[in-house]
Chains A and B, each alone.
Chain A
Amino acid sequence: MTDIQVWTLVFVLLTFGAYIYIAYASRVSTTSGFYVAGGGIPASANGAAIAADWMSAASFISMAGIVAFSSNGYAGSVYLMGWTGGYVLLALLLAPYLRKFGKYTIPDFVGDRYSESARMVAVVAAIVISFVYVAGQMSGVGVVFQRFLGVDAVQGVMIGMAIVFFYAVLGGMKGITWTQVAQYSVLIVAYLIPVVAISVKLTGMPVPQIGFGEILTQLDGLQQDLGFAAYTTAFTQETMLNMVLITAALMFGTAGLPHVIVRFYTARSVRAARFSALWALFFISLLYTSAPAIGAFSKLNFIDQIDGAAIGQTPGWFNTWADVGLITGTGGGAIEDLNGNGAIDYNGEASNEILVNNDIIVLAAPEIAGLPAPVVGLVAAGALAAALSTASGLLLVISSAVANDVYYKKINPQATEARQLLVGRIAMAGAIIIAGYLGINPPGFVAQVVALAFGLACASFFPVLVLGIFWKKTTAAGATAGLAAGLGTTLLYMVWTIDIYGNSDGIFSIPETGFGTIGMLINLVVTVVVSKFTKEPSPVMQELVEEIRYPGKTRLVAAHAEGHIEDVLPSEGSGPSAEGPAKP
């Protein structure tokens, strides 16, 4: 074993041991504990859990590389702004109101506010979006085990599955939340230590967010010399319109993702839901403002060490990543000395000889900067924490959609608490096995689909949720039509622009990742127009929507949470109808 492997093993064993201990200490015995941790999580802990839930293998492993290597630098800003700006929307437009509404899942809100058919559409959307995501997390776990511990990727995925199985099945949302708090701590320390160390090494400034500025002029110059666009120059890859559309799709998509929204149900009160959003974005911003810095530092180091390096004299980290196929020649195969000058050429011109996978930048950064082995091991443990925490949050969405929205609401409404909990645990176990399978055999399109999932969430959930809260007269027919129109047009556009149909430029060159914004506008217009022409919601429903605007205990919301809203206004109806309890 190398030093790096020993240190990786030490950190992985320590962190996994901690997760197992926490899970055992916070095991649950109620459905409320299983789905929403009994609604009793303090805001700062909930914020850390949301941050860990949100920051996936993609944020931890890939984002810095996407910003610095697959874009010129500026173009990657869409991810930085898009994946954080969505939290402002969540905090102001959704979190407090959904928390007041109560219940467990997004389909719960959609079903109770609109109709049973809308609930089923929401269940399907939530499950599809979550599985797409979770496949990427599991394969990320495999990559880390393979690269740092020399374990076979399949075994790596299985180890990850076993850990998640233990704490998710046992502890449900409560186990997941407290484990995520620990995972956030691990991942942020693992991310910040190398960034700070590299910043000090390159600029003498321990705050990477400031040190970053000192190398930009140099990096701009280097990139231009090598035939790349300058690092800070705008619109070299995407037009202004596309930057706006993609950023908006990521922002509104973030605010429509079920595994994020559901976290606000775990808060103690409306006030705690607001504070959770604040803590969450604060914790996320620590990583998101560091990511562009580590990307830029690594780009500088990479160009410095690799361009012009004699073949056979390349640094050790370069050779290790080339061995696992994540640094390759331009054809995707072995690195070749195309122009026969005996050295590696890395540039933005025809003479370029290497391709760098985005996923290695953060993992390789400590080695590129020559930091000691413990730091490398810590980064590996951090990447595992990021992947596992997101995977468990997504798995909970899947199991609660199956057990609560399908089994309890549709198949067996008389199910006892113990029975529901059992179904939830079985659904969780099943979801973990499917996720593990997808992680071992990832469908080739996972990476693209993850990006597209935001467009779909943006075009489907976001308008339906916001209108459902802010416009009392949104009708079930309006929401269903809007949902179908937004989701339908966005899906069609995404399929239509796939290369095989030869329409890859799309309409007005709008990229498929940005079309979600258009889909959202279509959804909005259709929902409003159809709602105008259909019978407005019942007075009880309108009053219920009115009540979720005000924190504190209110009559209808309390009755709704206890499932007997029809008792409050007996003249309004007689028992639950097929359209849900609140629509007599």
Chain B
Amino acid sequence: MDETQRRDYWRRNLRLMAVLLTIWALVSFGAGIIFVEPLNNIEILGFPLGFWFAQQGSIITFVVLIAVYVWRMDKLDAEFGIDEYEEEVHHS
């Protein structure tokens, strides 16, 4: 990769990270803690919604966030011709 490609790759990586980390904070600190009381007024399948985010929803979202990250980074790597699939490790 040349200098421009590197900058482009890195900027797109950072943008993806920013989006995913915002969602990460919104479901856990947001829905699970700061807005838990208003959300608890909504009930789904017996769960007060805020409580559900704190004990189930945030964890499920975390898994999805990493899945999206892995998938998007795979696409980004392919787009920039980075191919390390066959690369063997080079530990000293």
Residues of A within 8 A of B (CB): 32, 36, 38-40, 67, 73-74, 77, 80-81, 84-85, 87-88, 91-93, 96, 102-104, 209-210, 212-217, 232-235, 240, 243-244, 247-248, 251, 268-271, 274-275, 277-278, 281-282, 285, 288-289, 292, 546, 549-553, 558, 561-563
Contacts and interface: CB of A to CB of B under 8 A. Distances in A.
User: Chain B contact residues: over half helix, strand or loop, or mixed?
Assistant: helix
B90 interface: yes
B84 A549 contact: no
B63 A281 contact: yes
Contacts of B55: 67, 74, 77, 80, 289, 292
B4 interface: no
B42 interface: no
14 contacts: A73-B51, A80-B58, A80-B59, A93-B17, A102-B90, A216-B48, A234-B51, A240-B34, A271-B77, A274-B69, A278-B63, A278-B67, A289-B60, A552-B87
A553 B50 contact: no
A244 B34 contact: yes
A108 to B, nearest CB: 11
B20 A216 contact: no
A553 B88 CA distance: 10
Which among A96, A251, A278 has the greatest number of chain B C-beta atoms within 10 A?
Answer: A278
B77 A281 contact: no
A550 B65 CA distance: 21
Given A40-B89, A285-B62, A562-B90, A80 B54 contact: yes
A552 B82 contact: yes
Contacts of B54: 74, 77, 80-81, 234
A527 B16 CA distance: 26
Contact of A292 (B29, B50, B56, B90): B56
Interface string B1-45: 100001001100100010011001000110011101100100011
B62 A274 contact: no
A268 B92 contact: no
Interface in B67-92: 67, 69-70, 73-74, 77, 82-85, 87-92
B45 A210 contact: yes
Given A92-B69, A244-B29, A38 B87 contact: no
A410 B7 CA distance: 38
B63 to A, nearest CB: 5
Contacts of B9: 549-550
Which among B59, B73, B83 has the greatest number of chain A C-beta atoms within 10 A?
Answer: B59
Which among B21, B55, B69 has the greatest number of chain A C-beta atoms within 10 A?
Answer: B55
Contacts of B70: 91, 274-275, 277-278
Nearest to A233: B40
Contact of B51 (A74, A289, A550): A74
Contacts of B21: 88, 92
Which among B1, B29, B47, B56 has the greatest number of chain A C-beta atoms within 10 A?
Answer: B56
A217 to B, nearest CB: 6
The 7 closest A-B pairs by CB, nearest first: A213-B46, A39-B89, A77-B54, A232-B51, A292-B55, A213-B47, A213-B45
Given A80-B59, A278-B63, A563-B92, 7 more contacts: A88-B66, A212-B56, A216-B46, A232-B40, A247-B32, A285-B63, A288-B59
Contacts of A553: 84, 87
Nearest to B44: A213
B32 A558 contact: no
Given A38-B91, A40-B89, A269-B87, A77 B82 contact: no
Given A213-B45, A278-B66, A551-B77, A234 B50 contact: yes
A565 to B, nearest CB: 11
B74 A271 contact: yes
B62 A38 contact: no
A315 to B, nearest CB: 27
Given A84-B62, A270-B84, A102 B77 contact: no
B14 to A, nearest CB: 9
A233 B54 CA distance: 12
Contact of A247 (B28, B56, B87, B88): B28
Contact of A85 (B6, B58, B89): B58
Contacts of A93: 17
Contacts of B88: 40, 268
Contacts of A210: 45
Contacts of A77: 32-33, 51, 54-55
Given A216-B47, A552-B84, A85 B24 contact: yes
B33 A243 contact: yes
Contacts of B63: 278, 281-282, 285
Nearest to B55: A292
A277 B66 contact: yes
Contact of B91 (A39, A285, A288, A552): A39
A102 B69 contact: no
A81 B46 contact: no
